[in-house]
Protein backbone atom coordinates (compact mmCIF):
# COMPACT_ATOMS: atom_id res chain seq x y z
CA UNK A 1 0.00 0.00 0.00
CA UNK A 2 2.53 2.55 1.06
CA UNK A 3 5.29 1.09 -1.06
CA UNK A 4 7.08 -0.12 2.03
CA UNK A 5 7.50 3.35 3.47
CA UNK A 6 8.02 3.46 7.17
CA UNK A 7 6.79 6.13 9.44
CA UNK A 8 8.35 9.58 9.50
CA UNK A 9 9.57 9.31 5.96
CA UNK A 10 9.18 12.50 4.01
CA UNK A 11 7.36 12.16 0.71
CA UNK A 12 8.71 13.31 -2.66
CA UNK A 13 7.74 16.79 -3.74
CA UNK A 14 4.64 16.97 -5.90
CA UNK A 15 4.81 17.97 -9.55
CA UNK A 16 2.03 20.47 -8.95
CA UNK A 17 1.01 23.00 -6.36
CA UNK A 18 2.50 26.11 -4.86
CA UNK A 19 4.41 26.98 -1.74
CA UNK A 20 2.55 29.44 0.41
CA UNK A 21 3.62 31.39 3.42
CA UNK A 22 1.94 29.53 6.27
CA UNK A 23 1.19 32.50 8.58
CA UNK A 24 0.23 30.11 11.36
CA UNK A 25 2.45 31.45 14.11
CA UNK A 26 -0.13 33.70 15.71
CA UNK A 27 -2.65 31.04 16.52
CA UNK A 28 -0.15 28.37 17.42
CA UNK A 29 1.02 30.25 20.45
CA UNK A 30 -1.02 29.30 23.42
CA UNK A 31 -3.40 26.48 24.09
CA UNK A 32 -6.79 25.91 22.55
CA UNK A 33 -9.14 28.31 24.29
CA UNK A 34 -12.61 27.21 25.27
CA UNK A 35 -15.37 29.69 24.63
CA UNK A 36 -18.35 29.79 26.99
CA UNK A 37 -21.88 29.60 25.52
CA UNK A 38 -22.87 32.85 23.81
CA UNK A 39 -26.17 34.64 24.30
CA UNK A 40 -27.80 32.82 21.42
CA UNK A 41 -26.97 29.74 19.39
CA UNK A 42 -28.10 29.41 15.77
CA UNK A 43 -27.95 25.69 15.01
CA UNK A 44 -28.45 25.18 11.29
CA UNK A 45 -30.19 21.94 10.35
CA UNK A 46 -28.18 21.59 7.16
CA UNK A 47 -24.76 20.67 8.50
CA UNK A 48 -23.72 18.30 5.76
CA UNK A 49 -23.74 17.72 2.03
CA UNK A 50 -27.15 16.34 1.12
CA UNK A 51 -30.41 16.84 2.94
CA UNK A 52 -31.07 18.88 6.12
CA UNK A 53 -31.91 17.00 9.31
CA UNK A 54 -35.53 16.94 10.50
CA UNK A 55 -36.24 18.79 13.69
CA UNK A 56 -37.76 16.89 16.62
CA UNK A 57 -38.10 19.72 19.13
CA UNK A 58 -40.68 22.49 19.48
CA UNK A 59 -40.17 26.17 20.22
CA UNK A 60 -40.31 26.73 23.96
CA UNK A 61 -38.98 23.28 24.76
CA UNK A 62 -35.99 22.94 27.08
CA UNK A 63 -33.10 20.97 25.67
CA UNK A 64 -30.03 19.51 27.36
CA UNK A 65 -26.43 19.58 26.24
CA UNK A 66 -25.96 16.87 23.64
CA UNK A 67 -29.67 16.16 23.23
CA UNK A 68 -30.69 15.40 19.65
CA UNK A 69 -32.74 18.27 18.27
CA UNK A 70 -33.00 16.98 14.72
CA UNK A 71 -32.65 13.52 13.26
CA UNK A 72 -31.18 12.37 10.00
CA UNK A 73 -33.62 12.70 7.14
CA UNK A 74 -34.58 9.59 5.24
CA UNK A 75 -34.45 11.44 1.93
CA UNK A 76 -30.76 11.37 1.31
CA UNK A 77 -27.41 11.84 2.97
CA UNK A 78 -28.16 13.35 6.33
CA UNK A 79 -26.90 13.37 9.89
CA UNK A 80 -28.40 14.22 13.27
CA UNK A 81 -27.96 17.61 14.94
CA UNK A 82 -27.67 18.05 18.72
CA UNK A 83 -28.14 20.85 21.20
CA UNK A 84 -24.67 22.30 21.92
CA UNK A 85 -25.64 23.24 25.45
CA UNK A 86 -28.65 23.23 27.74
CA UNK A 87 -31.21 25.95 27.27
CA UNK A 88 -34.53 26.84 25.73
CA UNK A 89 -35.51 26.52 22.10
CA UNK A 90 -36.59 30.05 21.21
CA UNK A 91 -37.62 29.49 17.60
CA UNK A 92 -37.20 27.30 14.58
CA UNK A 93 -36.82 29.60 11.60
CA UNK A 94 -34.89 30.47 8.44
CA UNK A 95 -31.64 32.21 9.23
CA UNK A 96 -28.70 33.22 7.04
CA UNK A 97 -26.10 30.46 7.08
CA UNK A 98 -22.48 30.57 5.95
CA UNK A 99 -22.43 28.89 2.56
CA UNK A 100 -20.60 29.96 -0.58
CA UNK A 101 -22.74 32.46 -2.45
CA UNK A 102 -24.87 33.16 0.63
CA UNK A 103 -28.22 31.70 1.58
CA UNK A 104 -30.49 30.81 4.44
CA UNK A 105 -31.35 27.56 6.14
CA UNK A 106 -33.81 26.36 8.74
CA UNK A 107 -32.16 26.75 12.12
CA UNK A 108 -32.98 25.96 15.72
CA UNK A 109 -32.42 29.04 17.88
CA UNK A 110 -31.37 28.13 21.40
CA UNK A 111 -30.94 30.47 24.33
CA UNK A 112 -28.34 28.84 26.59
CA UNK A 113 -29.13 28.78 30.33
CA UNK A 114 -25.48 28.50 31.27
CA UNK A 115 -26.01 25.33 33.30
CA UNK A 116 -24.38 22.99 30.75
CA UNK A 117 -26.71 20.23 31.91
CA UNK A 118 -25.80 16.97 30.16
CA UNK A 119 -28.23 14.86 28.19
CA UNK A 120 -28.32 11.39 29.70
CA UNK A 121 -29.11 9.50 26.50
CA UNK A 122 -25.48 8.99 25.49
CA UNK A 123 -22.91 7.28 27.70
CA UNK A 124 -19.26 6.48 27.35
CA UNK A 125 -18.53 3.09 25.77
CA UNK A 126 -15.24 1.67 26.87
CA UNK A 127 -15.43 -1.38 24.64
CA UNK A 128 -15.80 0.74 21.51
CA UNK A 129 -13.12 -1.02 19.49
CA UNK A 130 -14.77 -4.40 19.95
CA UNK A 131 -18.18 -3.30 18.69
CA UNK A 132 -19.28 -4.75 15.35
CA UNK A 133 -18.59 -2.34 12.45
CA UNK A 134 -22.27 -1.67 11.62
CA UNK A 135 -22.89 -0.62 15.20
CA UNK A 136 -19.89 1.69 15.20
CA UNK A 137 -21.24 3.32 12.05
CA UNK A 138 -24.70 3.68 13.57
CA UNK A 139 -23.25 5.33 16.65
CA UNK A 140 -21.19 7.73 14.53
CA UNK A 141 -24.28 8.57 12.50
CA UNK A 142 -26.19 9.11 15.74
CA UNK A 143 -23.44 11.43 16.96
CA UNK A 144 -23.96 13.67 13.94
CA UNK A 145 -20.34 13.44 12.84
CA UNK A 146 -19.41 14.79 9.43
CA UNK A 147 -16.08 15.32 7.69
CA UNK A 148 -14.64 18.31 9.53
CA UNK A 149 -12.09 19.34 6.97
CA UNK A 150 -14.83 21.26 5.25
CA UNK A 151 -16.26 18.54 3.00
CA UNK A 152 -19.11 17.77 5.41
CA UNK A 153 -19.63 14.29 4.04
CA UNK A 154 -21.37 12.14 6.68
CA UNK A 155 -18.55 10.19 8.29
CA UNK A 156 -20.54 7.01 8.85
CA UNK A 157 -21.20 6.73 5.12
CA UNK A 158 -17.52 7.13 4.39
CA UNK A 159 -16.70 4.36 6.85
CA UNK A 160 -18.89 1.90 4.96
CA UNK A 161 -16.91 1.14 1.80
CA UNK A 162 -17.32 -2.63 1.84
CA UNK A 163 -14.22 -4.75 2.11
CA UNK A 164 -10.72 -4.31 0.76
CA UNK A 165 -9.68 -1.09 2.46
CA UNK A 166 -5.94 -1.21 2.91
CA UNK A 167 -5.32 2.08 4.61
CA UNK A 168 -7.04 4.81 6.56
CA UNK A 169 -5.43 8.18 6.00
CA UNK A 170 -5.99 10.75 8.72
CA UNK A 171 -5.66 14.11 7.06
CA UNK A 172 -3.98 16.65 9.31
CA UNK A 173 -2.26 18.48 6.49
CA UNK A 174 -4.09 21.80 6.61
CA UNK A 175 -2.23 23.15 3.60
CA UNK A 176 -4.03 26.50 3.49
CA UNK A 177 -2.33 29.46 5.10
CA UNK A 178 -3.62 30.68 8.50
CA UNK A 179 -5.67 27.60 9.38
CA UNK A 180 -4.21 25.79 12.35
CA UNK A 181 -7.20 24.14 14.03
CA UNK A 182 -5.96 20.64 13.15
CA UNK A 183 -2.42 21.60 14.05
CA UNK A 184 -3.56 22.71 17.50
CA UNK A 185 -5.68 19.61 17.87
CA UNK A 186 -2.77 17.31 17.02
CA UNK A 187 -0.36 19.23 19.23
CA UNK A 188 -2.60 19.07 22.26
CA UNK A 189 -4.84 16.07 21.78
CA UNK A 190 -3.06 13.54 19.60
CA UNK A 191 -4.08 10.75 21.96
CA UNK A 192 -7.74 11.54 21.34
CA UNK A 193 -7.19 11.58 17.57
CA UNK A 194 -5.46 8.21 17.71
CA UNK A 195 -8.27 6.70 19.83
CA UNK A 196 -10.68 7.85 17.16
CA UNK A 197 -8.42 6.34 14.52
CA UNK A 198 -8.50 2.99 16.28
CA UNK A 199 -12.31 3.04 16.32
CA UNK A 200 -12.39 3.93 12.62
CA UNK A 201 -9.96 1.11 11.85
CA UNK A 202 -12.33 -1.24 13.63
CA UNK A 203 -15.25 0.05 11.58
CA UNK A 204 -13.28 -0.36 8.38
CA UNK A 205 -11.75 -3.74 9.31
CA UNK A 206 -8.42 -2.33 8.21
CA UNK A 207 -4.92 -2.63 9.66
CA UNK A 208 -3.09 0.47 8.57
CA UNK A 209 -3.57 4.06 9.54
CA UNK A 210 -1.38 6.90 8.34
CA UNK A 211 -1.56 10.22 10.11
CA UNK A 212 -0.55 12.82 7.52
CA UNK A 213 1.03 15.98 8.92
CA UNK A 214 2.60 18.80 6.94
CA UNK A 215 6.37 19.15 6.87
CA UNK A 216 6.40 22.56 8.52
CA UNK A 217 4.30 21.50 11.52
CA UNK A 218 7.09 20.17 13.73
CA UNK A 219 5.21 20.41 17.02
CA UNK A 220 2.28 18.46 15.72
CA UNK A 221 4.60 15.83 14.23
CA UNK A 222 6.35 15.38 17.56
CA UNK A 223 3.06 15.16 19.41
CA UNK A 224 1.66 12.56 17.02
CA UNK A 225 4.84 10.49 17.19
CA UNK A 226 4.82 10.67 20.98
CA UNK A 227 1.18 9.59 21.08
CA UNK A 228 1.89 6.70 18.71
CA UNK A 229 4.78 5.57 20.89
CA UNK A 230 2.68 5.88 24.02
CA UNK A 231 -0.16 3.94 22.48
CA UNK A 232 2.09 1.22 21.14
CA UNK A 233 -0.26 0.52 18.26
CA UNK A 234 1.91 -0.48 15.33
CA UNK A 235 -0.95 -0.12 12.90
CA UNK A 236 -0.71 3.65 13.15
CA UNK A 237 2.17 5.61 11.73
CA UNK A 238 3.05 9.21 10.99
CA UNK A 239 3.66 10.41 7.47
CA UNK A 240 5.13 13.82 6.74
CA UNK A 241 3.68 15.57 3.71
CA UNK A 242 5.57 18.31 1.82
CA UNK A 243 4.45 21.83 2.67
CA UNK A 244 2.71 22.36 -0.64
CA UNK A 245 -0.69 23.70 -1.37
CA UNK A 246 -3.07 21.83 -2.04
CA UNK A 247 -1.42 18.74 -0.54
CA UNK A 248 -4.32 18.49 1.89
CA UNK A 249 -6.88 17.91 -0.85
CA UNK A 250 -8.18 14.39 -0.49
CA UNK A 251 -7.16 13.15 -3.93
CA UNK A 252 -3.88 15.02 -3.86
CA UNK A 253 -2.99 13.57 -0.47
CA UNK A 254 -3.79 10.05 -1.65
CA UNK A 255 -1.66 10.61 -4.74
CA UNK A 256 1.25 11.88 -2.65
CA UNK A 257 1.12 9.07 -0.13
CA UNK A 258 0.18 6.07 -2.23
CA UNK A 259 1.09 7.17 -5.75
CA UNK A 260 -2.38 6.14 -6.88
CA UNK A 261 -4.95 8.27 -8.65
CA UNK A 262 -8.60 8.18 -7.82
CA UNK A 263 -10.29 7.99 -11.20
CA UNK A 264 -12.69 10.73 -12.27
CA UNK A 265 -16.12 9.94 -10.92
CA UNK A 266 -14.59 7.41 -8.53
CA UNK A 267 -14.07 7.54 -4.79
CA UNK A 268 -10.95 6.99 -2.67
CA UNK A 269 -12.05 3.52 -1.65
CA UNK A 270 -11.70 2.44 -5.27
CA UNK A 271 -7.97 2.53 -4.61
CA UNK A 272 -8.34 0.97 -1.19
CA UNK A 273 -8.08 4.15 0.83
CA UNK A 274 -10.38 6.05 3.14
CA UNK A 275 -9.48 9.59 4.08
CA UNK A 276 -10.73 11.23 7.24
CA UNK A 277 -9.91 14.53 8.83
CA UNK A 278 -8.09 14.40 12.16
CA UNK A 279 -10.83 16.53 13.69
CA UNK A 280 -13.35 13.91 12.64
CA UNK A 281 -11.32 11.22 14.38
CA UNK A 282 -11.23 13.33 17.54
CA UNK A 283 -15.01 13.80 17.35
CA UNK A 284 -15.49 10.03 17.04
CA UNK A 285 -13.28 9.41 20.05
CA UNK A 286 -15.14 12.04 22.05
CA UNK A 287 -18.47 10.37 21.41
CA UNK A 288 -17.32 6.89 22.37
CA UNK A 289 -15.16 8.02 25.31
CA UNK A 290 -17.39 10.68 26.82
CA UNK A 291 -20.79 10.23 25.22
CA UNK A 292 -20.64 13.71 23.74
CA UNK A 293 -21.92 14.02 20.17
CA UNK A 294 -20.53 16.57 17.73
CA UNK A 295 -21.60 19.83 19.34
CA UNK A 296 -18.41 21.82 19.28
CA UNK A 297 -15.30 22.21 17.18
CA UNK A 298 -11.99 24.02 17.08
CA UNK A 299 -12.01 27.17 14.95
CA UNK A 300 -8.94 29.21 14.05
CA UNK A 301 -9.80 32.88 14.43
CA UNK A 302 -7.02 34.86 12.85
CA UNK A 303 -5.94 37.74 10.68
CA UNK A 304 -4.80 41.28 11.27
CA UNK A 305 -8.43 42.27 11.71
CA UNK A 306 -8.89 40.43 14.99
CA UNK A 307 -7.54 41.31 18.44
CA UNK A 308 -5.75 38.08 19.37
CA UNK A 309 -5.49 35.28 16.88
CA UNK A 310 -6.29 31.97 18.54
CA UNK A 311 -7.65 28.47 18.18
CA UNK A 312 -10.93 28.42 19.98
CA UNK A 313 -13.09 25.47 20.87
CA UNK A 314 -16.54 26.76 20.21
CA UNK A 315 -20.11 25.45 20.22
CA UNK A 316 -21.73 24.78 16.88
CA UNK A 317 -24.17 27.61 16.29
CA UNK A 318 -22.13 30.35 17.95
CA UNK A 319 -22.55 33.56 15.96
CA UNK A 320 -19.30 34.68 14.36
CA UNK A 321 -19.70 38.12 15.86
CA UNK A 322 -19.50 36.59 19.36
CA UNK A 323 -16.57 34.40 18.33
CA UNK A 324 -14.62 37.42 17.10
CA UNK A 325 -15.54 39.28 20.26
CA UNK A 326 -14.13 36.39 22.31
CA UNK A 327 -10.92 36.61 20.30
CA UNK A 328 -10.49 40.24 21.23
CA UNK A 329 -12.85 41.90 18.80
CA UNK A 330 -12.17 43.61 15.51
CA UNK A 331 -9.19 45.87 15.07
CA UNK A 332 -9.41 49.06 13.05
CA UNK A 333 -7.68 47.22 10.24
CA UNK A 334 -10.50 44.69 9.69
CA UNK A 335 -11.33 44.71 5.99
CA UNK A 336 -12.63 41.30 5.04
CA UNK A 337 -14.30 38.29 6.61
CA UNK A 338 -13.51 34.88 5.13
CA UNK A 339 -14.65 31.46 6.26
CA UNK A 340 -11.85 29.02 5.52
CA UNK A 341 -8.42 29.94 4.22
CA UNK A 342 -7.36 32.62 1.75
CA UNK A 343 -7.23 30.15 -1.15
CA UNK A 344 -10.53 28.31 -1.02
CA UNK A 345 -12.42 30.10 1.71
CA UNK A 346 -15.39 32.23 0.81
CA UNK A 347 -16.21 35.78 1.77
CA UNK A 348 -18.87 36.30 4.36
CA UNK A 349 -20.98 39.41 3.80
CA UNK A 350 -21.51 39.99 7.55
CA UNK A 351 -20.82 38.42 10.93
CA UNK A 352 -24.37 37.49 11.98
CA UNK A 353 -23.72 33.96 10.77
CA UNK A 354 -23.29 30.87 12.93
CA UNK A 355 -20.32 28.54 13.21
CA UNK A 356 -21.15 25.22 11.55
CA UNK A 357 -19.52 21.83 11.67
CA UNK A 358 -17.48 22.94 8.64
CA UNK A 359 -16.10 26.16 10.09
CA UNK A 360 -12.40 25.49 10.48
CA UNK A 361 -11.24 29.06 10.22
CA UNK A 362 -12.55 32.59 10.49
CA UNK A 363 -10.11 34.91 8.79
CA UNK A 364 -10.66 38.53 9.67
CA UNK A 365 -8.32 39.97 7.11
CA UNK A 366 -6.58 43.27 7.46
CA UNK A 367 -6.14 45.64 4.53
CA UNK A 368 -2.73 44.25 3.66
CA UNK A 369 -3.77 40.62 3.86
CA UNK A 370 -6.20 40.61 0.98
CA UNK A 371 -5.00 41.32 -2.48
CA UNK A 372 -6.51 44.53 -3.75
CA UNK A 373 -8.68 43.95 -6.78
CA UNK A 374 -6.21 44.22 -9.65
CA UNK A 375 -6.88 44.90 -13.27
CA UNK A 376 -7.34 41.71 -15.28
CA UNK A 377 -5.21 41.44 -18.43
CA UNK A 378 -5.57 39.00 -21.32
CA UNK A 379 -3.98 35.57 -20.96
CA UNK A 380 -0.44 35.48 -22.33
CA UNK A 381 -0.37 31.68 -22.33
CA UNK A 382 2.65 31.60 -20.05
CA UNK A 383 1.55 28.18 -18.83
CA UNK A 384 2.32 28.73 -15.15
CA UNK A 385 -1.26 27.73 -14.34
CA UNK A 386 -0.81 24.36 -16.03
CA UNK A 387 2.42 23.85 -14.15
CA UNK A 388 0.76 24.20 -10.75
CA UNK A 389 -2.59 22.55 -11.48
CA UNK A 390 -2.97 19.49 -9.24
CA UNK A 391 -5.46 17.98 -11.69
CA UNK A 392 -3.00 18.38 -14.61
CA UNK A 393 -5.45 20.59 -16.46
CA UNK A 394 -4.49 23.39 -18.82
CA UNK A 395 -6.35 26.35 -17.33
CA UNK A 396 -5.17 28.66 -20.12
CA UNK A 397 -6.91 26.47 -22.70
CA UNK A 398 -10.02 26.03 -20.55
CA UNK A 399 -10.20 29.80 -20.20
CA UNK A 400 -10.24 30.23 -23.98
CA UNK A 401 -12.86 27.52 -24.35
CA UNK A 402 -15.00 29.11 -21.64
CA UNK A 403 -15.11 32.28 -23.71
CA UNK A 404 -17.01 30.38 -26.40
CA UNK A 405 -18.27 28.63 -24.50
CA UNK A 406 -17.47 25.34 -26.17
CA UNK A 407 -18.99 22.91 -23.70
CA UNK A 408 -18.03 19.81 -25.62
CA UNK A 409 -14.35 20.75 -25.55
CA UNK A 410 -14.56 22.02 -21.97
CA UNK A 411 -15.82 18.64 -20.91
CA UNK A 412 -13.26 16.64 -22.87
CA UNK A 413 -10.48 18.86 -21.53
CA UNK A 414 -11.42 18.20 -17.95
CA UNK A 415 -13.40 21.17 -16.66
CA UNK A 416 -15.23 18.76 -14.36
CA UNK A 417 -11.92 17.65 -12.86
CA UNK A 418 -11.08 21.14 -11.63
CA UNK A 419 -10.98 21.08 -7.82
CA UNK A 420 -11.18 24.87 -7.56
CA UNK A 421 -8.05 25.08 -5.45
CA UNK A 422 -7.17 28.51 -6.81
CA UNK A 423 -3.52 27.70 -7.62
CA UNK A 424 -3.95 28.95 -11.19
CA UNK A 425 -5.28 32.30 -9.99
CA UNK A 426 -2.39 32.58 -7.60
CA UNK A 427 0.32 32.23 -10.25
CA UNK A 428 -1.42 34.11 -13.08
CA UNK A 429 0.61 37.18 -14.14
CA UNK A 430 -2.49 38.56 -15.87
CA UNK A 431 -4.55 38.30 -12.66
CA UNK A 432 -7.36 36.43 -14.36
CA UNK A 433 -9.95 35.07 -11.91
CA UNK A 434 -9.66 31.61 -13.44
CA UNK A 435 -11.36 29.70 -10.66
CA UNK A 436 -14.42 31.95 -10.79
CA UNK A 437 -14.57 31.52 -14.57
CA UNK A 438 -14.42 27.76 -14.19
CA UNK A 439 -17.14 27.72 -11.56
CA UNK A 440 -19.32 29.71 -13.95
CA UNK A 441 -18.46 27.40 -16.85
CA UNK A 442 -19.25 24.34 -14.73
CA UNK A 443 -22.65 25.83 -14.04
CA UNK A 444 -23.17 26.35 -17.77
CA UNK A 445 -21.99 22.86 -18.55
CA UNK A 446 -24.41 21.46 -16.02
CA UNK A 447 -27.29 23.43 -17.56
CA UNK A 448 -26.23 22.25 -20.98
CA UNK A 449 -26.34 18.67 -19.77
CA UNK A 450 -29.79 19.25 -18.39
CA UNK A 451 -31.02 20.54 -21.74
CA UNK A 452 -29.71 17.53 -23.62
CA UNK A 453 -31.08 15.20 -20.98
CA UNK A 454 -34.49 16.79 -21.34
CA UNK A 455 -34.23 16.53 -25.10
CA UNK A 456 -33.30 12.84 -24.89
CA UNK A 457 -36.20 12.21 -22.51
CA UNK A 458 -38.61 13.97 -24.84
CA UNK A 459 -37.34 11.94 -27.79
CA UNK A 460 -37.77 8.70 -25.85
CA UNK A 461 -41.31 9.60 -24.84
CA UNK A 462 -42.18 10.78 -28.34
CA UNK A 463 -41.00 7.51 -29.82
CA UNK A 464 -42.84 5.56 -27.12
CA UNK A 465 -45.99 7.46 -27.96
CA UNK A 466 -45.54 6.66 -31.63
CA UNK A 467 -45.29 2.99 -30.78
CA UNK A 468 -48.32 3.23 -28.54
CA UNK A 469 -50.40 4.85 -31.29
CA UNK A 470 -49.28 2.22 -33.74
CA UNK A 471 -50.16 -0.54 -31.33
CA UNK A 472 -53.57 0.97 -30.72
CA UNK A 473 -54.12 1.22 -34.44
CA UNK A 474 -53.18 -2.37 -35.08
CA UNK A 475 -55.29 -3.53 -32.11
CA UNK A 476 -58.21 -1.68 -33.55
CA UNK A 477 -57.85 -3.15 -37.01
CA UNK A 478 -57.42 -6.62 -35.50
CA UNK A 479 -60.63 -6.06 -33.58
CA UNK A 480 -62.37 -4.98 -36.75
CA UNK A 481 -61.10 -8.02 -38.59
CA UNK A 482 -62.34 -10.20 -35.76
CA UNK A 483 -65.78 -8.61 -35.95
CA UNK A 484 -65.85 -9.00 -39.68
CA UNK A 485 -64.83 -12.60 -39.34
CA UNK A 486 -67.62 -13.13 -36.82
CA UNK A 487 -70.39 -11.68 -38.89
CA UNK A 488 -68.85 -12.50 -42.23
CA UNK A 489 -70.49 -15.84 -42.94
CA UNK A 490 -73.89 -14.74 -41.67
CA UNK A 491 -74.28 -11.24 -43.12
CA UNK A 492 -73.86 -10.61 -46.81
CA UNK A 493 -71.15 -7.95 -46.90
CA UNK A 494 -69.39 -7.49 -50.17
CA UNK A 495 -65.71 -6.67 -50.41
CA UNK A 496 -66.26 -3.06 -51.41
CA UNK A 497 -68.39 -2.28 -48.44
CA UNK A 498 -65.86 -3.93 -46.16
CA UNK A 499 -63.07 -1.87 -47.58
CA UNK A 500 -65.10 1.29 -47.15
CA UNK A 501 -65.85 0.39 -43.58
CA UNK A 502 -62.19 -0.26 -42.84
CA UNK A 503 -61.30 3.02 -44.48
CA UNK A 504 -63.76 4.89 -42.36
CA UNK A 505 -62.50 3.41 -39.15
CA UNK A 506 -58.93 4.08 -40.07
CA UNK A 507 -59.55 7.65 -41.01
CA UNK A 508 -60.97 8.39 -37.62
CA UNK A 509 -58.54 10.48 -35.77
CA UNK A 510 -56.89 8.79 -32.82
CA UNK A 511 -58.23 11.56 -30.63
CA UNK A 512 -61.84 10.89 -31.40
CA UNK A 513 -63.68 8.81 -28.95
CA UNK A 514 -65.01 5.56 -30.29
Which residues from 288-317 bind other proteins, rule CB under 8 A? Answer: none
Q: 503: how many CB neighbours lie within 10 A of its CB?
A: 9
Instruction: Go through 334-350 and write b for each residue having 16 or more CB atoms within 10 A of its CB, e for each that does not.
Output: bbbbbbbbbbbbeebee
Which of 262, 278, 301, 306 touches other proteins (CB under 8 A)? 262
Q: Contact between 506 and other proteins (CB under 8 A)? A: no
Task: Compare residues 49 and 56 and give the one whose CB is closer to other proteins.
Answer: 49
| Interface with other proteins (CB under 8 A), residue from 30, 121, 349, 488 | 349
Does 350 bind other proteins (CB under 8 A)? Our answer is yes
Minimal distance, residue 270 CB to other proteins, in Å: 10
Among 334, 355, 358, 445, binds other proteins (CB under 8 A): 334
Strand order in the sheet with 68-71: 54-55, 68-71, 81-82
Residue 505's contacts (CB-CB under 8 Å, 6 or more residues apart) are 476, 477, 480
Q: Smaller CB distance to other proteins: residue 125 or 397?
A: 397
Q: What is the largest CA-CA distance in the chain?
A: 109
Q: Smallest gap, in angstroms, from Cβ of residue 20 to other proteins? A: 7
What is the helix (H) or strand (E) element at residue 408, kind and residue range? helix 407-412
In the complex, what is the shortest distance from the CB of residue 72 to other proteins, in angstroms, rounded to a whole number? 17
Q: Which of 461, 471, 499, 506 binds other proteins (CB under 8 A)?
A: 461
CA distance 404 to 503: 55
Helix (H, G, I), strand (E, B) or coil at 265: coil
Q: Is 508 an interacting residue with respect to other proteins (CB under 8 A)?
A: no
> Torsions phi, psi of 236, nearest 5?
-105, 130
Q: How many residues bind other proteins (CB under 8 A)?
A: 91
Question: Does 264 contact other proteins by CB under 8 A?
Answer: yes
Contact criterion met (CB below 8 Å) for 144 and 81: yes
Q: Which stretch binds other proteins (CB under 8 A): 88-96, 201-209, 272-280, 459-467?
A: 459-467
State yes or no: residue 497 binds other proteins (CB under 8 A): no
Smallest distance from other proteins to CB 473, Å: 13
Q: Minimal distance in Å, beta carbon 153 to other proteins?
A: 15
Cβ(210)–Cβ(237) under 8 Å?
A: yes
Strand partners, 337: 364
Work out which of 11, 238, 315, 337 binds other proteins, going by CB under 8 A. 337
| Overall size of the chain counted in residues | 514
Q: Which stretch binds other proteins (CB under 8 A): 4-12, 164-172, 286-294, 409-417?
A: 409-417
Any contact of residue 371 with other proteins (CB under 8 A)?
A: yes
Residue 368 as a binder of other proteins (CB under 8 A): the answer is no
DSSP 275-338: EEEHHHHHHHHHHHHH---S-EEEEEEESTTBSS-EEEEEETT-BHHHHHHHTT-B-TTEEEEE
Q: Which of 206, 390, 410, 438 binds other proteins (CB under 8 A)?
A: 390
What's the gap between Cα 207 and its chain centre? 26
- Beta-carbon-side half-sphere exposure of residue 379 (alpha carbons within 13 Å): 21
45 near other proteins, judged by CB under 8 A: no
Give the C-alpha separation, 460 to 467, whole Å: 11
Taking contact as CB under 8 A, which single stretch among the options 78-86, 195-203, 347-355, 477-485 is the one that binds other proteins? 347-355
What is the distance between the alpha carbons of residues 332 and 271, in angstroms, rounded to a whole number?
Answer: 50
- When asked if residue 106 is in the footprint of other proteins (CB under 8 A), the reply is no
Whose Cβ is closer to other proteins: residue 204's or residue 348's?
A: 348
CB 390, min distance to other proteins, A: 7
From 112-120, 149-157, 236-244, 463-471, span contacting other proteins (CB under 8 A): 463-471
Q: Looking at 343, 358, 361, 441, which residue binds other proteins (CB under 8 A)? A: 343
Q: Which is nearer to other proteins, 161 or 383 (CB)?
A: 383
CA-closest candidate to residue 171, choices 343, 155, 157, 160: 155
Please give the residues from 113 up to 172 whose contact with other proteins meets the rule CB under 8 A: none
Amino acid sequence: MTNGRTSNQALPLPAWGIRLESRKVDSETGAIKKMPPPGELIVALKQNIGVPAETIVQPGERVLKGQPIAIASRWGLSVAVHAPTSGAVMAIEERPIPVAGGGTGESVIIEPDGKEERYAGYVAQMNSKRLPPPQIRNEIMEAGIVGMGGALFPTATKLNPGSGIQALILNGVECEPYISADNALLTERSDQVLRGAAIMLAALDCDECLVAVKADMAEAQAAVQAAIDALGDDRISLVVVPAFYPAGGERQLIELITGKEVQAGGLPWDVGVVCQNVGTAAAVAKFFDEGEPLISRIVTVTGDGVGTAANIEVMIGTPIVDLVEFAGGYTDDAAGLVMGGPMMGFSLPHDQLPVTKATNCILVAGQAELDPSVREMPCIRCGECARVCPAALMPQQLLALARGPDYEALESQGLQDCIQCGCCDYVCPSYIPLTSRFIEAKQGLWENHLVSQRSALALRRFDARGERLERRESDRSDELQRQVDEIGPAGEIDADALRQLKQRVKSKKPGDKT
